[in-house]
Structure 1
Amino acid sequence: MAREEFEEIVEAFEFLDDWEDRYRHVIEMGKAFPPLDDAFKVPATKVEGCASQVWLVPTIEDGKFEFQGASDAMIVQGLIAILHELFAGLTVKEVLATDAHAELARLGLDEHLSSQRSNGLRAMVQRIMETAERAV
């Protein structure tokens, strides 16, 4: 079972029947996600493999995983917010034990995102996992 915050997203997606409404919800989540300081938008934090510009700044404090992120695309900014709800606050071992593909599949994103967006989402998850692996 995922974090309570992610479970709330799953429930919201179940409530919203129409994918147009779900997209709007994802975009609203992105708008509500704290902005990333431009100083962090550098090549070292850029996620390759995304069609849009994406930056992730992961940190581990007191054994807990956290990250900030940003994108120049509204829907991708919302995907960053979803990943934040899935992973933030977990221990590094919990991050590594999370089956992100299975959890995200509960939202039906693979079926409704373009192949470029799906590839970008996988690249973001890979960056998160690599960060957690280095911290073990």
Structure 2
Amino acid sequence: MTDTPASPFPLEPTPQAAQDAIREEFGFFSDWSERYQYLIDLGRKLPEFPEAWKTEEHRLHGCQSMVWIVPEADRERLRFHAVSDSTIVSGLIYLALRVYSGRTPAEILATDPDYVGDIGLSRQLSPTRSNGLAALLAFIRNEAERRA
């Protein structure tokens, strides 16, 4: 793939360390209005996503919002580039990429997304956002399975 945007992921050395950091960060907030604002802020930190990639081929179905995701692999690691037209969904993408992007297929397959329940997302997200997050996590897992 040419002109691939630089990715900041992974931020932590392991998927578990990323999940621990997410749990710690969300623990600072006392209510969900603050957590939603933090999700929005995280979504704004996603790397640039080329307009040329916003095609049906890269669209993630199962989300109410528009979500595009492009996997990229080298000999060892999988990286994901993704974006949404929704600010909260972009924050959910940021969290998933923080845990899974830049990891080996084995690391991805060995890591359950415990952070989703641990920070309360599973109780706070609307059914459509929950379905979209599940579709995103399934896409990442399927790409890892294909390359394992």
> TM-score surpassing 0.5?
yes
Q: Counterpart in 2 of 1:68? A: 81
Aligned counterparts of 1:86 and 1:106: Cα–Cα separation in 2: 14
| Aligned residues: CA RMSD | 1.3
- 1:5 CA displacement: 3.4
Offset of residue 109 of structure 1: 0.4
Q: Which residue of 1 aligns with 2:23?
A: 10
> Residue deviations 1:39-87, cap 9 Å, x none?
1111111110100000111112241121110100000011010001110
Q: TM-score, normalised by structure 2?
A: 0.86
| Matched pairs, number | 135
Are residues 6 and 35 of structure 1, via their aligned partners in 2, closer, same or farther at CA, if it must alter by over 3 Å? farther
Q: Distance in 1 between matches of 2:16 and 2:79?
A: 13
8 A contact 1:3–1:85 mirrored in 2: no
> 1:35, 1:69 within 8 Å by CA — same for their partners in 2?
no
| Aligned equivalent of 1:23, options 15, 36, 40 | 36
* Structure 1: 4+ residue segments shifted above 2 A: 1-7
Gaps of at least 5 residues in structure 2 are 1-13
Q: Tell me the CA shift for residue 94 of structure 1.
A: 0.9
In percent, how many aligned pairs have the same letter?
36
**Which residue of structure 2 aligns with residue 91 of structure 1?**
104
Picking from 20, 25, 39, the partner of 2:52 is 39
Structure 1, unmatched stretches of 5+, are none
Distance 1:6 1:40 in 2: 28
Displacement of 1:11 after TM fit? 0.5
User: Comparing both structures, which one devotes a greater share of its residues to helix?
Assistant: 1
1:27 offset after TM fit, Å? 0.5
CA–CA distance in structure 1, aligned partners of residues 26 and 39 of structure 2: 10
1:65 partner letter:
L
Q: Which AA in structure 2 matches 1:23?
A: Y
